[in-house]
Amino acid sequence: MSERALRGTRLGATSYETDRGIDLAPRQTVEYACQNGHRFEVPFSVEAEIPQAWECRFCGQEAVLLDGDEPEEKKVKPTRTHWDMLMERRTREELEEVLAERLAVLRSGGMNLAVHPRDTRKSA
């Protein structure tokens, strides 16, 4: 092309390549359906592993593969609480022993339980 042919065109915005003579990868079309009755197709490569669930294009809910198996339920770990983690480190007897020691210190007056300097309430 001569310099005049490119004048006035947006060189970065438009591609001058064509799809002629290019062999695209073999594809397969898979159909999904959601609970709201929406059905749509998604193209995949023939070599791709087809997912059992896909997000619906219309409503965003989970759509299930038609003519496929149900998706496997993911194993959910039970949430570990503070108590669970504490029980991994100590036995109940050890905890009761620590509690008895702390209560003895509190009752003997060994801990300074003075009123906090910012506390504006009057102590009796």
Find the length of the chain: 124
Measured CA to CA, the distance from residue 33 to residue 58 in angstroms comes to 11
Q: Which residues are annotated as a binding site for Zn(2+)?
A: 34, 38, 56, 59
Place of tokens 């092309």: 1
Q: Which residues are annotated as a binding site?
A: 34, 38, 56, 59
